[in-house]
Amino acid sequence: MSTVSKTNQKQLQAGIDEFAVNAYETYLPALSVDTVIFGFHNNTLKVLLLRLVDTPYFVLPGGYIQKKEDLDDAALRILQERTGLTNIYLEQFYTSGKTSRYKEDLFQETLKKSGVQFPANNWFEQRFVSVCYYALIDYTLVDPQTDPFFPEFKWVDVSKVPKLIFDHKMIIEKGLERLRADLDQKLVGFRLMNETFTMADLQKLYEAIFDKKLVRTNFQRKVLSLNVLERLEKQYNGKAHKAPYLYKFIKHKH
């Protein structure tokens, strides 16, 4: 763990001071938003994490709700600020409100160790109840944004999530559970795919999300029975009889 450099510490202190003054004016107290951002890459399901400055610990991207802002809009704004994407599929899945979620307040403790001073009655000392959303994004389009508090981002396999700050690891598990439940019911999976794909591509996505191998014939029968796929013409490429069919999702309201 590196020590915060003098410049960095000054920047952090200025950030803390500004936030501690303005946050109570700007945001709803006691409430936060956390986001589990899922992406699909190399046949694995990934989640976006941010590293807290001067620690080896990672955290979910999150933020607060402006006083005159709808809850869902706050989640969208936070995601947009963090990923640069405007057209994001977002699903609220859980609100985390145990008092014990702050038992190890690595956020404040680590910054204090770095010499950052927190003003009395500061914003971060509140008990936050956090409304959690998951997002499905096209991995290739994202340019995650860092800042002085979170100078590094990382895409991590959902099966290899490290120790996280607060109860964020549990939140990822709950988000994954809900993604699995939504996958068939709301057909959300296509948000993680290119516009067209083969049946094999789609099976790989399902296998990554459910973390198990599926039988090809059963999978095909089940997916086709949902009546949500449109089969496209095979393109002639000289070996057309060997090329797999391409599919795309029929558009629906999600």
Residues that bind a copy of itself (CB under 8 A): 28-31, 65, 67-72, 74, 92, 94-100, 127, 129, 131, 181, 185
Is 136 buried (19+), middle (13-18) or exposed (0-12) by CB count in 10 A?
buried
Give least dist CB 254 to a copy of itself, A: 14
Whether the CB-CB separation of 124 and 29 falls below 8 Å is answered with no
Give least dist CB 81 to a copy of itself, A: 18
Whether the CB-CB separation of 61 and 37 falls below 8 Å is answered with yes
**Closer residue to a copy of itself, CB minimum distance, 186 or 248:** 186
**Closer residue to a copy of itself, CB minimum distance, 89 or 155:** 89
Whether the CB-CB separation of 37 and 48 falls below 8 Å is answered with yes
Q: Could you give the CA distance from residue 222 to residue 49 in angstroms, rounded to a whole number?
A: 33
Whether the CB-CB separation of 152 and 146 falls below 8 Å is answered with yes
DSSP state letter for 251:
P
Give least dist CB 138 to a copy of itself, A: 27
Q: Could you give the CA distance from residue 163 to residue 28 in angstroms, rounded to a whole number?
A: 29
Give least dist CB 131 to a copy of itself, A: 5
Give least dist CB 30 to a copy of itself, A: 5
**Closer residue to a copy of itself, CB minimum distance, 96 or 114:** 96
Q: Could you give the CA distance from residue 48 to residue 60 in angstroms, rounded to a whole number?
A: 7
Q: Could you give the CA distance from residue 102 to residue 98 in angstroms, rounded to a whole number?
A: 9
Give least dist CB 146 to a copy of itself, A: 28
**Closer residue to a copy of itself, CB minimum distance, 147 or 177:** 177
Give least dist CB 228 to a copy of itself, A: 18
Whether the CB-CB separation of 54 and 111 falls below 8 Å is answered with yes
**Closer residue to a copy of itself, CB minimum distance, 127 or 163:** 127
**Closer residue to a copy of itself, CB minimum distance, 29 or 115:** 29
At position 113, the amino acid (one-letter code) is K
Is 221 buried (19+), middle (13-18) or exposed (0-12) by CB count in 10 A?
exposed
Angle of helix 168-185 versus helix 199-210 axis, rounded to 10: 140
**Closer residue to a copy of itself, CB minimum distance, 156 or 187:** 187
